[in-house]
């Protein structure tokens, strides 16, 4: 019986302690990485809607910020005659079988509104399989950046062979539609001539675009004509942007799908290699280590690999991927190690506030 | 004073005296002493139990017939019956102690044993809940056949599917009233939020119980029955449970549970109960490093109180239930360099605060024009506050984050009113009619206009008709009208045929429906890649359910056996899925487009000896493969998943210890997925969520009269995650493994029970 009373008192005491020992929001102070002498850039992507493309130049430690809806088309300045679409705005286009802009009417675009639109393409996944879906990937420029993969065919020297393109200008950062246009591209001397108008217009405008080889592309906005977007090609290395990529959805189809927090690289003379932290610590990585890596000139080498986005039900947490860093070789053969330190704003927690840390690898 | 009462009583109820009940051995005819004879008047009056004397006589004083009775004796099989009138009875008991079936109530006209029910009811009784050391419903169901559970690590919730149908179609009731949670009124529940500290037993009915319980029970109903009485004047129970979480244990680790429960007969006709529980799960670090944990810590307080008044012919009670839950998800540390190069890392932490309060008034008894009635009113108020905070890990400063959807308050308020009346026309025909009113108000960040209401009014009726002596037929019909989708007529019919030699065949057909959820009706989510809207014009999902069940009890040597075989088939039409909006191609919405089917076959076998009881069950559940219909030509229509369970209980009387083993094998869940082959092409392959074995072992012992102790090991095979190859590529894949548990854990539970006569 004494035992029994003792046990009872013990239970009661433990129960009381248990109930009272409720709140303990203990938060062990984590180990804090020390201050660094690396270059630090807070890329001004512009927050949740990610309105900006941010071109970063490592050697001058500068960023060039451009609204991603400020342009429509880029005209290649190299030897080929190629036109790219505004991928960050999810612009899509297809040719129609006419080569006179004035002859194009709304009838030529029947049905396109429900197909050639990034949201409509995504929406069509939920329902009877759409026959046109396999074509959707041809309405955008191939995401690897190859000139052969542009949605607009190479501009022919024979004017009659250049067809009219119906263009969905995609979306603004706030999600509103940028509208539709029709356009036709011709060679003009060593440059380009663009004919363009709104879909229902019976007349059209013309714009002359010369090739300025200091840049990868010369840019045009349908409303403003020639505009400045990308810095000179020797003056940037990587670019933060919203990026319309190809997402595989079934055995035959990939669809255009917009990725946020995407990083592309300069197509001219910039090459990038990915390094696993498991192989090298960022701090210990030196120039000597950089020679064995395999470098890629795919626009999307970094792509979305640098970040993790939480999925419902998983225990992954949104943020920079701590397991990777990169080595960037720029157009002057400088080697930089590059690490993404964060993806979110440290106070608001919103996406669109990435920060990078990089160091020149001394040769 | 007492004699005056007695005198008046005699005047009013002369018929209650004069009857004598004798309990005898079926084989020898000798009277049996010491039989616990429990009785419960159908009209809800005084219930209790008496012990038979050395003549085998049971003396029932002042009991109002008809009554439901049940006997218990260590040497005899339990027997229960309804005694309709007061007269002499001789009750013959079958020797040997097997199958102590409790009364069940789910869907029944009167409380009765599961054997007598026209449909199959599984019971997890108090003894089993205790033997498992089960604190919440998820643990209690861990080896039940045809139930498959799933865990969400981020918000710490635990869901289930039943008969291969998702948890949205499993309705969880507390004393017959839907238990509200974040996602539904009874359905899609988070089982980890349902603690069992005041639950006497769990009744499980597979198949839609739509006539009685309305929508959202296509797969079945799980009815939790609370304690509403005590055998003694005062019963106090104090419990302490300490549990490891995997191999983690300590003041800041492991699981610590305390509970206190007091039951008191307050005065003549008055009974009260009050209980509190504190369940403090400290989370599981697992493979995570630093602040984040694999399983987030979760702390729950639960309180309940009941007061019951039982005047003659009636019983009325008020019950209050309260849950408070806090989940703290600490985020990982992210470096953040200031222009000076100084590092001020930050983390994004998530907090989920849930509160649920349920008020419930229920009355039952007898009225001049009804053999029995039951009426209730309840109000449930559920609120979950989700907050996200950014924390500077150097300064400690915390602020609410501002991204879309970071801060959210979900609310679910439900008023329910219902009543049922029972009329016994004759020995052969009973009628049940009832009504149910339900008003739901649901609020949350992604619901159009922040809050929406759904109202539902229903009337229903069913008959239990004893066509011939051994055939019972129960047709039922429910007429419901709903503010969002109009009027529905729901039929069901159940048949039970008894054969000589303790064998029963049950056949059941039921129509079921799932009402579109508020989310499906009024959702609104727009970002750069998604434009998803609810659809106010949705119709319910409708199902047909067919099942049959055959059970036979027999003896093998000195062992009591029971064998059963079950078949079921469910077909669901108009299943709600996401589809492109017809009016706006750039948006997606919820539409009644899909169909789904499940079918299953199960067998089970129980064997009971004096000290050892065992059961084993096998089931084979087929789930419909949607691709079969949609896209590809020659794919299998069903994927089958085996399940196997076994329980062993040994009563080691010489050391006063019971040993329990609970086992379940949950088979692989397969589906077709798209995958990229080595040539870089997409192809259809079969993916699967791996199967796994689950094993629990417990020892229970009573000592010093007042103390119970349970020692146990959960998940002895140390299953943590199972591989999932059934995930197609893309941005929304959940990952290559599915969490099952944090691994093998051990617990000790100590209970102090004080009983005062």
Q: What is the CATH number of the domain that holds B43?
A: 2.60.40.1120
CB–CB contact B684 A317 (8 Å)? no
* Concatenated DSSP letters of B444-486: -TTBGGGEEEEEEEEEEEEEEEEEETTEEEEEEEEEEEETTTE
Residues B89 and B229 in one domain: no
Task: Answer for the pair B150, B159: CB distance below 8 angstroms, yes or no.
Answer: yes
- Please state the pTM of the whole predicted model: 0.84
Note the pLDDT tens digit of each residue in B696-705.
999 999 888 8
Set of chain A residues whose Cβ sits within 8 Å of the Cβ of B331: 317, 319
- Of B97, B121, B147, at which residue does a domain stop? B97
| Mean pLDDT of all residues belonging to chain B | 87
Task: Answer for the pair B181, B167: CB distance below 8 angstroms, yes or no.
Answer: no
Does any domain span residue B334?
Answer: yes
Q: How far apart are CA B103 and CA A24, in angstroms?
A: 44
Higher pLDDT pick, B753 / B529: B753
CB–CB contact B585 A114 (8 Å)? yes
Does any domain span residue B138?
Answer: no
Does any domain span residue B285?
Answer: yes
Rounded to the nearest angstrom, the minimum Cα separation between A143 and chain B is: 16
Note the pLDDT tens digit of each residue in B326-336.
999 999 999 99
Span of A129-138, B92-101, B519-528 with lowest mean pLDDT: B92-101
Note the pLDDT tens digit of each residue in B176-219.
999 999 888 888 899 999 999 899 999 999 988 899 999 899 99
Does any domain span residue B116?
Answer: no
A positions 180-239 inside 8 Å of B (CB): none
CB–CB contact B256 A28 (8 Å)? no
- Of B32, B65, B97, at which residue does a domain stop? B97
Count the alpha carbons within 13 Å of B673 in the hemisphere toward its beta carbon. Answer: 18
Is the pLDDT assigned to residue B599 strictly greater than 80? yes
CATH code, domain with B279: 2.40.170.20
B50: containing domain? 2-97
pLDDT at A2: 56
Set of chain B residues whose Cβ sits within 8 Å of the Cβ of A175: 526-528
Is the pLDDT assigned to residue A127 strictly greater than 80? no
Q: Is A206 in a helix, a strand, or coil? A: strand
Does any domain span residue B688?
Answer: yes
| Contact B731/A at CB under 8 A | yes
Note the pLDDT tens digit of each residue in B639-671.
999 999 999 999 998 888 999 999 999 999 888
Q: Nearest residue on chain A to B588, judged by CA atoms? A: A123
B positions 565-624 inside 8 Å of A (CB): 577-581, 585-588, 593
pLDDT at B631: 53
| Contact B736/A at CB under 8 A | no
Q: How far apart are CA B452 and CA A162, in angstroms?
A: 55
Confidence of residue B732 (pLDDT cuts 50, 70, 90): very low
Is the pLDDT assigned to residue A23 strictly greater than 70? no
Question: Which of A38, A123, A174 should we substitute to test contact with B (largest number of B Cβ atoms within 10 Å)?
Answer: A123
Confidence of residue B59 (pLDDT cuts 50, 70, 90): confident
CB–CB contact B674 A251 (8 Å)? yes
pLDDT at A17: 76
Does any domain span residue B125?
Answer: no
Rg of chain A, C-alpha, whole Å = 26
Closest to B301 measured CA to CA, from B256, B267, B251: B256
Q: Nearest residue on chain A to B593, judged by CA atoms? A: A127
Closest to B303 measured CA to CA, from B278, B284, B281: B278
| Contact B328/A at CB under 8 A | yes
User: Mean per-residue pLDDT for B467-483?
Assistant: 93
Task: Answer for the pair B734, B671: CB distance below 8 angstroms, yes or no.
Answer: no
Note the pLDDT tens digit of each residue in B221-275.
999 999 988 888 999 999 999 999 999 998 889 999 999 999 999 988 899 999 9
Residues B93 and B233 in one domain: no
* Structure tokens belonging to residue A339: 């690490």
Task: Answer for the pair A228, A215: CB distance below 8 angstroms, yes or no.
Answer: no
Confidence of residue B116 (pLDDT cuts 50, 70, 90): confident
User: Mean per-residue pLDDT for A332-352?
Assistant: 94
ipTM of the complex: 0.87
pLDDT at B40: 81
Note the pLDDT tens digit of each residue in A214-262.
999 999 999 999 999 999 999 999 999 999 999 877 666 789 999 999 9
Does any domain span residue B145?
Answer: no
Report how far Cα B139 is from the mean position of its chain's Cα atoms. 11
Cis-peptide into B66, omega within 30 deg:
yes
> How many folded domains does chain B comprise?
2
Rounded to the nearest angstrom, the minimum Cα separation between B341 and chain A is: 5
Q: How far apart are CA A290 and CA A330, in angstroms?
A: 13
Task: Answer for the pair A97, A242: CB distance below 8 angstroms, yes or no.
Answer: no
| Contact A280/B at CB under 8 A | no
Residues B85 and B234 in one domain: no
Residue whose token pair is 């992210």 = B334
B positions 370-429 inside 8 Å of A (CB): 388, 390-394, 399, 401-404, 406
Set of chain B residues whose Cβ sits within 8 Å of the Cβ of A22: 278, 280, 299, 301
CB–CB contact A349 B683 (8 Å)? no
A positions 148-187 inside 8 Å of B (CB): 171, 175
In this structure, what are the phi and psi dihedrals at residue A200, rounded to the nearest 5 degrees? -90, -5
Q: What is the DSSP letter of A232?
A: P
In this structure, what are the phi and psi dihedrals at residue B304, rounded to the nearest 5 degrees? -145, 155
pLDDT at B628: 52
User: Mean per-residue pLDDT for B34-59?
Assistant: 79
Does any domain span residue B10?
Answer: yes
Q: How far apart are CA B617 and CA B146, in angstroms?
A: 10
Confidence of residue B489 (pLDDT cuts 50, 70, 90): very high
User: Mean per-residue pLDDT for A150-172?
Assistant: 95
Task: Answer for the pair B669, B726: CB distance below 8 angstroms, yes or no.
Answer: yes
- Of B97, B123, B152, at which residue does a domain stop? B97
pLDDT at B271: 94
| Contact B240/A at CB under 8 A | yes
Q: Long-range contacts: B475-482, Cβ < 8 Å, 24+?
A: B476/B211, B476/B212, B477/B211, B478/B210, B478/B211, B478/B212, B478/B214, B480/B214, B480/B215, B480/B456, B481/B456, B481/B457, B482/B215, B482/B454, B482/B455, B482/B456, B482/B457, B482/B515, B482/B540
Three-state SS for B302-335 is EEEEEEEECCCCEEEEEEEEEEEEEEEECCCCEC
In this structure, what are the phi and psi dihedrals at residue A136, rounded to the nearest 5 degrees? -55, -35
Residues B234 and B90 in one domain: no
pLDDT at B12: 38
């Amino acid at each position: 019986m004494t035992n029994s009373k003792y046990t009872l008192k013990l239970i009661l005491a433990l129960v009381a302690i248990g109930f009272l020992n409720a709140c303990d929001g203990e938060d062990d102070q984590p180990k804090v990485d020390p201050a660094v002498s690396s270059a630090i850039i807070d890329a001004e992507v512009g927050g949740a809607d990610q309105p900006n493309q941010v071109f970063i130049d490592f050697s001058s430690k500068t960023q060039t910020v451009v609204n991603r809806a400020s342009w429509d088309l880029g005209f290649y300045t190299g030897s080929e005659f190629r036109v790219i679409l505004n991928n960050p705005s999810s612009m899509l286009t297809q040719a129609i079988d006419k080569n006179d802009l004035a002859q194009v009417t709304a009838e030529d675009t029947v049905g396109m509104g429900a197909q050639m639109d990034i949201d409509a393409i995504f929406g069509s996944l939920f329902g009877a399989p759409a026959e046109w879906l396999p074509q959707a990937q041809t309405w955008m420029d191939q995401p690897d950046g190859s000139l052969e993969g542009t949605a607009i065919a190479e501009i022919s020297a024979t004017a009659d062979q250049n067809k009219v393109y119906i263009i969905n200008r995609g979306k603004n950062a706030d999600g509103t539609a940028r509208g539709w246009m029709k356009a036709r591209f011709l060679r003009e001397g060593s440059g380009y001539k663009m004919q363009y108008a709104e879909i229902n217009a019976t007349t059209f405008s013309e714009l002359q675009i010369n090739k300025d080889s200091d840049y990868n592309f010369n840019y045009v906005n349908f409303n403003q004509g020639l505009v400045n977007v990308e810095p000179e090609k020797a003056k940037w290395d990587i670019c933060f942007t919203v990026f319309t990529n190809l997402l595989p959805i079934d055995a035959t189809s990939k669809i255009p799908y917009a990725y946020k927090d995407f990083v592309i690289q300069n197509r001219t003379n910039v090459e990038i290699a990915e390094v696993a932290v498991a192989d090298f610590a960022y701090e210990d990585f030196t120039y000597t280590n950089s020679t064995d890596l395999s470098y890629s000139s795919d626009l999307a080498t970094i792509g979305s690999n640098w970040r993790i986005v939480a999925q419902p039900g998983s225990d992954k947490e949104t943020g920079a991927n701590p397991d990777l860093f990169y080595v960037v070789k720029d157009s002057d053969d400088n080697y930089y190690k590059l690490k993404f330190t964060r993806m979110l704003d440290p106070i608001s927690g919103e996406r669109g506030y990435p920060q990078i840390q990089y160091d020149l690898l001394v040769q | 004073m007492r004699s005056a009462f007695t005198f008046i009583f005699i005047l009013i109820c002369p018929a209650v005296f004069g009857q004598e009940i004798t309990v005898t051995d079926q084989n020898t005819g000798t009277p049996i002493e010491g039989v616990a004879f429990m009785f419960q008047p159908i009209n809800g009056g005084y219930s209790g139990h008496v012990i038979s004397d050395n003549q085998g006589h049971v003396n029932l004083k002042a009991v109002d017939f008809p009554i439901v009775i049940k006997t218990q004796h260590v040497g005899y099989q339990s027997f229960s019956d309804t005694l309709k009138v007061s007269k002499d009875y001789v009750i013959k008991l079958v020797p040997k102690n097997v199958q102590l079936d409790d009364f069940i109530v789910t869907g029944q006209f009167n409380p009765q044993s599961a054997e007598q029910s026209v449909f199959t009811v599984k019971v997890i009784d108090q003894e089993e809940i205790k033997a498992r050391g089960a604190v919440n419903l998820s643990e209690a169901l861990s080896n039940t056949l045809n139930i498959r559970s799933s865990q969400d690590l981020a918000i710490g919730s635990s869901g289930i599917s039943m008969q291969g149908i998702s948890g949205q179609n499993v309705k969880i009731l507390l004393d017959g009233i839907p238990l509200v949670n974040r996602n539904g009124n009874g359905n899609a529940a988070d089982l980890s939020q349902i603690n069992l500290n005041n639950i006497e037993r769990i009744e499980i009915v597979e198949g839609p119980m739509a006539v009685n319980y309305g929508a959202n029970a296509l797969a079945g109903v799980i009815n939790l029955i609370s304690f509403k009485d005590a055998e003694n004047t005062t019963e106090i129970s104090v419990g302490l449970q300490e549990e490891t979480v995997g191999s983690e244990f300590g003041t800041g680790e492991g699981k610590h549970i305390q509970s206190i429960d007091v039951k008191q007969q307050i005065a003549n006709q008055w009974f009260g109960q009050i209980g509190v529980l504190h369940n403090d799960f400290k989370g599981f670090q697992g493979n995570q490093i630093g602040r984040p944990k694999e399983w987030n810590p979760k702390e729950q307080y639960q309180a309940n109180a009941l007061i019951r008044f039982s005047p003659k012919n009636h019983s009325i009670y008020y019950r209050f239930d309260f849950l408070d839950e806090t989940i703290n998800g600490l985020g990982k540390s992210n470096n953040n360099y200031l222009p000076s190069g100084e590092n001020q890392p930050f983390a994004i932490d998530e907090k989920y605060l849930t509160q649920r309060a349920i008020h419930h008034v229920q009355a039952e008894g007898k009225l001049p024009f009804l053999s029995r009635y039951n009426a209730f009113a309840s109000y449930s108020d559920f609120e979950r506050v989700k907050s996200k905070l950014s924390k500077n890990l150097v300064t400690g400063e915390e602020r609410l984050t501002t991204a879309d959807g970071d801060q959210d308050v979900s609310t679910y308020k439900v008023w329910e009113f219902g009543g049922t009346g029972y009329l016994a026309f004759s020995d052969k025909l009973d009628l049940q009619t009832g009504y149910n009113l339900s008003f739901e108000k649901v609020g949350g960040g992604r619901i159009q206009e922040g809050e929406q209401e759904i109202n539902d009014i229903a009337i229903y009726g069913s008959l239990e008709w004893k066509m011939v002596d051994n055939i019972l037929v129960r047709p039922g019909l429910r007429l419901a009208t709903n503010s969002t989708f109009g009027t529905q007529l729901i039929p069901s019919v159940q048949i039970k045929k008894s054969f000589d030699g303790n064998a029963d065949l049950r056949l059941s057909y039921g129509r079921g429906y799932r009402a579109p959820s508020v989310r499906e009706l009024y959702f609104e989510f727009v970002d750069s890649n998604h434009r998803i809207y609810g659809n106010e014009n949705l119709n319910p999902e409708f199902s047909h359910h067919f099942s049959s069940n055959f059970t036979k009890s027999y003896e093998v040597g000195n062992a009591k056996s029971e064998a059963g075989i079950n078949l079921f088939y469910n077909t669901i039409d108009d299943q709600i899925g996401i589809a492109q909006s017809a009016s706006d191609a750039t948006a997606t919405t919820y539409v009644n487009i899909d169909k789904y089917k499940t079918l299953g076959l199960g067998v089970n076998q129980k064997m009971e000896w004096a000290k050892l009881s065992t059961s084993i069950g096998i089931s084979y559940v087929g789930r419909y493969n949607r691709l079969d219909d949609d896209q590809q030509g020659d794919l299998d229509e069903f994927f089958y998943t085996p399940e196997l369970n076994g329980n062993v209980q040994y009563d080691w009387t010489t050391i006063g210890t019971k040993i329990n083993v609970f086992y379940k094998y949950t088979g692989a869940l397969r589906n077709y997925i798209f995958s990229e082959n080595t040539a870089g092409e997409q192809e259809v392959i079969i993916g699967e969520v791996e199967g796994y074995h689950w094993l629990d072992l417990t020892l229970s012992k009573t000592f010093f009269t007042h103390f119970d102790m349970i020692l146990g090991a959960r998940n002895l095979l140390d299953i943590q995650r199972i591989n999932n190859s059934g995930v197609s590529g893309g941005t929304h894949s959940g990952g290559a493994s599915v969490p099952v548990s944090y691994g093998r854990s051990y617990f000790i539970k100590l209970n102090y029970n004080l009983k005062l006569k």
